[in-house]
């Protein structure tokens, strides 16, 4: 295969919501300095800062928003304050959040929304020109084309190059400092070794760890993009980055079968959650995100299922609007209604999905400081890969893209300043360290091994199914009503290790299939961290999200803490960290 070496200042891995916005921000930041003629110590390097976005699909329609989105769920509506938003997210996660991160997001979400509108996003307004709100934190939009809008803005940004259809599978890290990444073209038979002075990881969370609701033909009809494999988590974990809150899994309450959103029904037409007897049960179990799922599971276990959102009796106008709203974000639900009973005639059955690991709804991801610096020097993170800041959604991902971009540009400038002060040959600065030939050769050899392996009994698909079955049965999947015990987790760990040992013999026909093998490896790495985190939290703080049958109660004394982890000598080391202080606005890594 062809080997291509690329050099950039800022590498952004993943061109989804956060990655695109990071690129736009970094470009305008560097350009702004250029226009101001600011040539302070070292800053001239920021002029014409080169930015490279690498995306395994195409940024026009990649990531969580490929199908669109019909509301912005994180917005400070009139009369509300950023503080209200922080309190809401904190309460929903029962305290286990990073207030500094939530504040930094909530103070930016209205500004990024205004920017999106300027870029072309349609937002519903009343006759006075004010945004129409849905509940306390949401505004209504036509977000079908939100990704093409972001992609067009990236295309216009100066000094930004986009590499589509290139799959990054490893960071280049030396002495805990990142200096680039490795990847391959899915369709062009090319290996990429990319040198960078700073890197932003924005690869999203992880789907496909657990057996999905519909494991047959419709296995990918799921809540989260099935193409988000946890690549960013896995690359960080392997290089020793600290991670947080992987035990707080996200389980979405969705329309049965189509796995379409329920919020639009609940908040749009005020549909209540009812059991098969017609009883409203949502208030019985609480209304936090995890309690809504838990209540539905509990009603089923106790024989009062299935459960529904009560839509019967809505007006024809409401029904027409619902059919349209779903076309803009989850068209399968509209087909379902057109082929079967419409929502005014039949209540919409609901179910919990399989668990996912994300940082945008729940709080799993990189342990970062307020500037979104990870514990690997030069590596910044944004969006679903960042832990500690749940309920960030689309606008929060944009805000984090902006924060990470500004921090990364600042970091690049500080490197330049150091180089200028000390001269170019100071080895301690370690600028643009060459990706070593040995590492490139090793990676290329591994890829070629998969292409040359003989077809065996295992395939990436069969091992993925084995992994999902193990997680489903022994690590709290749908099968056990999301519950698990220490004994079960121990089995899950062994099963995942056994599957991992078989990956090396897999055969791939082409680089797309090589990507499937690397994605499987990424998921297995994430699974091991999830299992370790679930086993470490000896309490049940979030029903369903982390339902530990050995410890069915909440334990504030011992576990009002972050559960963090780091890979050390091949072993996952658990670190319990104290919560940041109430109202704390800034957090720095302790070195």
Binding residues for other proteins (CB under 8 A): 56-58, 60-63, 66-67, 70-71, 122-124, 132, 134, 140-142, 144-145, 164-165, 186-187, 214, 216-222, 225-227, 257-258, 264, 267-269, 321-325, 327-328, 331-332, 334-336, 338-340, 512
Distances 346 to 156, 340, 342, 582 between C-alpha atoms, Å:
47, 9, 6, 46
Tokens of 147: 């990704």
Segment (H or E) for 259: none
Taking the complex as a whole, how short is the minimal distance between the CB of residue 130 and other proteins, in angstroms? Answer: 13
Opening angle at CA 207, ends 223 and 104, nearest 5: 80
Structure letter (DSSP) for residue 345:
T
Q: Could you tell me which of 147, 146, 168, 148 has the C-alpha nearest to residue 52?
A: 168
Q: Which is nearer to other proteins, 82 or 226 (CB)?
A: 226
Alpha helices in 423-485 (DSSP H): 437-452, 460-474
Pairwise CA distance, residues 356 & 226, whole Å: 10
> How many Cα atoms occupy the beta-carbon half-sphere of 364 within 13 Å?
28
| Residue whose CB is less far from other proteins, 106 or 353 | 353
Min separation Cβ 224 and other proteins, Å: 9
Q: Are 518 and 525 in contact (CB under 8 A)?
A: no
**Tokens read off for 490:** 């121990």
Separation of alpha carbons 400 and 482, rounded Å: 30
Please identify, using beta-carbon distances, which residue of 40 and 135 lies nearer to other proteins.
135
Total Cβ atoms within 10 A of residue 306: 14
Q: Strands, DSSP E only, in 513-568?
A: 547-548, 561-568
Smallest separation, CB 7 to other proteins (Å): 26
d(CA 312, CA 335): 18
Look at strands 177-185 and 166-174 and give their pairing: antiparallel
Nearest distance from C-beta of residue 541 to other proteins, angstroms: 32
Q: CB 561 → other proteins: shortest distance, Å?
A: 36
Let me know: does 240 contact 566? Beta carbons within 8 Å. Answer: yes
Question: How many residues are present in the chain?
Answer: 591
If the CB atoms of residues 134 and 392 are measured against other proteins, the closer one turns out to be 134
Is the Cα torsion angle 504, 212, 530, 489 positive or negative in sign? negative
The nearer residue to other proteins, 244 or 328, going by C-beta atoms, is: 328
Give whichever of 7 and 165 is closer to other proteins, judged by the CB atom: 165
In the bound state with other proteins, the residue whose beta carbon lies nearer, of 349 and 448, is 349
ω before 286 within 30° of 0 (cis)? no
Report the nearest approach of other proteins to the CB of residue 134 (Å): 7
CB of 18 to other proteins, least distance (A): 15
With beta carbons less than 8 A apart as the criterion, state whether 466 and 500 touch: no
Pairing of the two strands 547-548 and 483-484: parallel
In Å, what is the CA distance from 329 to each residue of 142, 150, 465? 9, 17, 28
* CB-count exposure of residue 420 (10 Å: 0-12, 13-18, 19+): middle
Task: Kindly state the DSSP code that residue 384 receives in the 8-state scheme.
Answer: G
What tokens were used for 126?
A: 């009343």
Give me the least distance between CB of 207 and other proteins, in Å please: 9
In the complex with other proteins, the residue whose CB is nearer, 98 or 336, is 336
Q: How far is CA 336 from the centre of its chain?
A: 28
Q: Report d(CA 255, CA 252) in Å as an integer.
A: 10
Backbone angles phi, psi at 211, to 5 degrees: -60, 130
Q: Which is nearer to other proteins, 154 or 440 (CB)?
A: 154
Closer to other proteins by Cβ: residue 315 or 414: 315
The structure tokens listed for 93 are 């996660």
Q: Between the CA atoms of 170, 62, 93 and 90, what dihedral angle is there, to the nearest 10 degrees?
A: 100
CB of 222 to other proteins, least distance (A): 7
Cα(436)–Cα(30) distance, integer angstroms: 29
Min dist CB 586 to other proteins, Å, is 36
Least distance between other proteins and beta carbon 466 (Å)? 17
Pick 516 or 559: Cβ nearer other proteins:
516
Please, which residue, 344 or 485, has the CB nearer to other proteins? 344
CB of 80 vs other proteins, minimal distance in Å: 20
Contact 391, 427 (CB under 8 A): no
Least gap, CB of 215 to other proteins (angstroms): 9
Cβ closest to other proteins, residue 287 vs residue 338: 338
Nearest distance, CB of residue 62 and other proteins, angstroms: 5
| Least distance to other proteins, CB of residue 310, Å | 16
Judged by beta carbon, residue 64 or residue 496, the one nearer other proteins is 64
Q: In this structure, what token pair is assigned to residue 479?
A: 């099968």
* Of residues 258 and 416, the one with the C-beta less far from other proteins: 258
């Amino acid at each position: 295969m062809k080997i291509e070496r690329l050099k950039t200042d800022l590498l952004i891995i993943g061109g989804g919501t956060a990655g695109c916005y990071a690129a736009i921000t970094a470009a305008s930041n560097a350009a702004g300095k250029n226009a101001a003629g600011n040539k302070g110590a070292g800053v001239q390097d920021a002029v014409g800062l080169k930015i490279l976005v690498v995306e395994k699909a195409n940024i026009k329609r990649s990531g969580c928003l490929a199908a669109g989105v019909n509301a912005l769920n994180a917005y400070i509506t009139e009369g509300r304050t950023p503080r209200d938003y922080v309190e809401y997210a904190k309460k929903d996660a029962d305290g286990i959040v990073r207030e500094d991160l939530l504040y930094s997001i909530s103070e930016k979400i209205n500004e990024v929304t205004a920017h999106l509108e300027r870029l072309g996003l349609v937002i519903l307004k009343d006759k006075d020109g004010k945004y129409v709100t849905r509940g306390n934190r949401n505004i209504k939009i036509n977000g079908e084309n939100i990704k093409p809008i972001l992609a067009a803005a990236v295309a216009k940004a100066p000094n930004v190059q986009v590499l589509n259809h290139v799959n990054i599978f490893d960071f280049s890290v030396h002495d805990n400092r990142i200096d680039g990444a490795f990847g391959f073209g899915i369709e062009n038979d090319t290996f990429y070794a990319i040198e960078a002075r700073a890197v932003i990881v924005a690869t999203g969370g992880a789907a496909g760890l657990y057996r999905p609701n519909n494991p047959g033909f419709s296995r990918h009809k799921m809540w989260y993009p099935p193409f988000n494999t946890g690549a960013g988590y896995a690359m960080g974990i392997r290089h020793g980055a600290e991670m947080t809150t992987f035990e707080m899994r996200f389980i979405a309450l969705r329309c049965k079968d189509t796995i379409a959103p329920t919020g639009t029904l609940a908040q749009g037409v005020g549909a209540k959650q009812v059991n098969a007897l017609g009883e409203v049960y949502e208030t019985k179990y609480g209304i936090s995100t995890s309690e809504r799922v838990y209540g539905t599971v509990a009603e089923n276990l106790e024989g009062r299922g299935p459960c529904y959102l009560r839509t019967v009796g809505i007006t024809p106008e409401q029904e027409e609007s619902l059919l349209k709203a779903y076309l803009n974000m989850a068209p399968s639900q509209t087909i379902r209604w057109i082929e079967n009973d419409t929502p005014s005639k039949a209540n919409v059955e609901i179910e919990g999905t399989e668990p996912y690991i994300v940082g945008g709804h729940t709080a799993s991801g990189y342990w970062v400081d307020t500037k979104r610096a990870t514990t690997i020097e030069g590596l910044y993170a944004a969006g679903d890969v960042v832990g500690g800041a749940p309920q960030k959604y689309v606008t929060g991902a944009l805000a984090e893209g902006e924060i990470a971009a500004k921090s990364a540009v600042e970091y690049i400038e500080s490197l330049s300043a150091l180089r200028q002060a000390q001269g170019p040959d100071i080895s301690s600065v370690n600028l643009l360290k060459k990706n070593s030939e040995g590492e490139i050769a090793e990676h290329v050899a591994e890829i070629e091994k998969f292409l040359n392996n003989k077809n065996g009994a295992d395939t990436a698909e069969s091992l993925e199914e084995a992994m999902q079955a193990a997680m489903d049965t022994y690590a709290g999947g749908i099968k056990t009503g999301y519950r698990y015990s220490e004994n079960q987790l121990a089995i899950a760990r062994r099963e995942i290790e056994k599957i991992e040992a078989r990956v090396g013999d897999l055969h791939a026909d082409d680089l797309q299939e090589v990507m499937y093998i690397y994605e499987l490896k990424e998921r297995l790495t994430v699974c091991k961290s999830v299992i370790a985190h679930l086993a470490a939290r000896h309490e049940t703080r979030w029903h369903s999200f982390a339902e530990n049958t050995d410890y069915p109660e909440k334990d504030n004394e011992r576990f009002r803490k972050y559960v963090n982890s780091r890979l050390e000598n091949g072993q996952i080391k658990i670190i319990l960290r104290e919560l940041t202080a109430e109202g704390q606005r800034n957090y720095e890594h302790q070195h």
